Structure 1
Amino acid sequence: MTYTPCIICSNTDVHLFDGYSELYRVTSDCKPWKRSGLLGICKNCGTVQKRNDQVWREEVGEIYKNYSIYHQGNGSEQVVFQNGSSLSRSRSLQIISKLKEYGFLSNIGKLLDIGCGNGGFLRSFQEIFPNWVNSGYEINEKYKEDVLNISNVVNFYSSDFSVIKEKY
């Protein structure tokens, strides 16, 4: 089944995964969520994506109305254990360390973290890439002050994406 254009390349050859709406789901703050939704893959660029329609936007609004970031860890990001040892680090720090290790990013740049929450990724990114200028975007301003208090975070955006004038 084909539906609205791809959110990345605008190709209309996006096919839905049969049966997705029957699967149990959890929200990004790890709470059980109702069965529903549409998930597809763009046959042109390979991007897996949810259908960005009115139903999806209403669900997102409902989720974020009572959103509790990392509530299972009292606001702290999940940890990843190192090579079967008892050493651990935050999930974002692990991902960003690999980006640096493989040389995927330069030492200077600009970052916009879309869905920055309370700034966990931005905090880790600043630790590994201290010369970058960072900004965060979140659907509401609940954690605005937390995010703006992170070193090298210069902007916090919320609500509509049209408020972002900077290029990243």
Structure 2
Amino acid sequence: MAEIYGSYAMFHQRGGADHAIRDSQNNTLRSRSGTLLQRFIAWAQPPDWGSLLDIGCGTGPLLQSAAHLRPGWTLAGAEQDDRVRDRILGIPGVALFHAGPLSALDARFDVVSMVHVLEHVADPAGFLRQAASLLAPGGRLLVQVPSLAENPFDLTIADHCSHFTADTLTRVVRSAGLKILHVDRWIPKELSVVAGLPERAAGDPPAMPETGSTAEPTVDLATVERMVAWLHAMGETVEHLAAAGPLGLLGTSVAATWLASQAEDRVSFFMDEDPVMQGTRFLGRPVLAMERVPSSATLFCPMPSAQAHAIRERLVRMKAAFRIEIPPPLPRSVL
């Protein structure tokens, strides 16, 4: 992990821009961080004035969204080093940038956010306790992680120390001594948890960590092994499809990146619906818009089959002229 983060650049293939996700209501592309923050605000109804710290702020997409959605808030960002300091301090409303351990930060915030951070740390409960110590009275901790149960491709990411389900995420939040306030799936294939400090009367002893689970079963080792087998089957599928003609992969995120690395030279191109990526090259291959994909080509959707099926139907409605293939369903015992 030290080697990875020593040369890591957030969203490097996108020039530092946040991931775009498709809004199912109006079929438009929106910032992932902006969508998450908007849905958190709709649920929490925070006042127009307050303070927010984004831990693991990266290039600042959540802080930029906060500056737009809550211009009265005082904002702060935290990272492991100083590489993005100037970029973060240039965001309207950002008054503080902190580099280094959270224990050295002497401040309190109404909202502390951790978007795609917890899966990267070796001691998630301990890290949550550090983050919770930065909450003001009545403050809210917003945690966002990938959902393993919905997306087995999370297993392919080398620097993810933990892979969360709704059950395991709520367990680790409770083990940090925090109170679960809300669990949701505000972003597709991701889990959102809002937590707060437990309330206690003056003189009461500190609250003990909670125990218990959600209705979702814990993903056990046998389930993970079935997920791994399903992932390896994708490579066989790509080899079969590539033998019939030009083959492309949908998207340029984790799933397509991993599968292209497994398929070596069998993948000819990527297709991405995000205009930021169209016309660029990724892993040495062109990134095409839908209308630039040859009619003789096959497009493979490397994602869980339910989502891939919905995307195929949408592309067909958009008059895609090429063949679209999707993976087989995950075993029922997985989801």
Question: In structure 2, how many angstroms separate the alpha carbons of the residues matched to 1:108 and 1:84?
Answer: 30
Q: Spell out the pairing of 1:66-145 with structure 2 (5 A cutoff).
A: 66-83=7-24, 85-145=26-86
Question: In structure 2, how many angstroms separate the alpha carbons of the residues matched to 1:113 and 1:68?
Answer: 18
Question: In structure 2, how many angstroms separate the alpha carbons of the residues matched to 1:97 and 1:115?
Answer: 19
Select 1:160's aligned residue among 92, 98, 101: 101
* 2:28 counterpart letter in structure 1: L
What displacement does 1:70 show? Answer: 0.6
The change in CA–CA distance for 1:100 and 1:161 in structure 2 (over 3 A counts) is closer
* 2:52 counterpart letter in structure 1: L
Question: In structure 2, how many angstroms separate the alpha carbons of the residues matched to 1:104 and 1:72?
Answer: 35
Q: Spell out the pairing of 1:47-66 with structure 2 (5 A cutoff).
A: 59=1, 61-66=2-7
* 1:115 counterpart letter in structure 2: G
Question: In structure 2, how many angstroms separate the alpha carbons of the residues matched to 1:109 and 1:85?
Answer: 31
What displacement does 1:100 show? Answer: 2.3
1:150 is the counterpart of 2:91:
yes
The change in CA–CA distance for 1:84 and 1:72 in structure 2 (over 3 A counts) is farther
Partner deviation per Cα, 1:69-109 (whole Å, 9 max, x = no partner): 01232211101111164411100110111122234422211
Question: In structure 2, how many angstroms separate the alpha carbons of the residues matched to 1:123 and 1:67?
Answer: 21
Question: In structure 1, how many angstroms separate the alpha carbons of the residues matched to 2:53 and 2:43?
Answer: 21
Partner deviation per Cα, 1:101-139 (whole Å, 9 max, x = no partner): 234422211111100111111001111111110100000
Q: Is the 8 A contact 1:114 1:138 kept in 2?
A: yes
Could you list the runs of 5+ residues in structure 1 that have no partner in the other structure? Answer: 1-58
Aligned-pair identity (%): 28
* 1:160 counterpart letter in structure 2: P
Paired residue total? 109
What displacement does 1:68 show? Answer: 1.4
Could you list the runs of 5+ residues in structure 2 that have no partner in the other structure? Answer: 110-335
Q: Is the 8 A contact 2:80 2:100 kept in 1?
A: yes
Question: In structure 1, how many angstroms separate the alpha carbons of the residues matched to 2:44 and 2:9?
Answer: 34
What displacement does 1:151 show? Answer: 0.6
- The two structures have a TM-score, normalised by structure 1, of 0.60
Question: In structure 2, how many angstroms separate the alpha carbons of the residues matched to 1:158 and 1:119?
Answer: 14
The change in CA–CA distance for 1:87 and 1:142 in structure 2 (over 3 A counts) is same
Partner deviation per Cα, 1:17-44 (whole Å, 9 max, x = no partner): xxxxxxxxxxxxxxxxxxxxxxxxxxxx
Q: Is the 8 A contact 1:99 1:105 kept in 2?
A: no
Q: Is the 8 A contact 1:110 1:134 kept in 2?
A: yes
Q: Is the 8 A contact 2:17 2:59 kept in 1?
A: no
What displacement does 1:162 show? Answer: 3.1
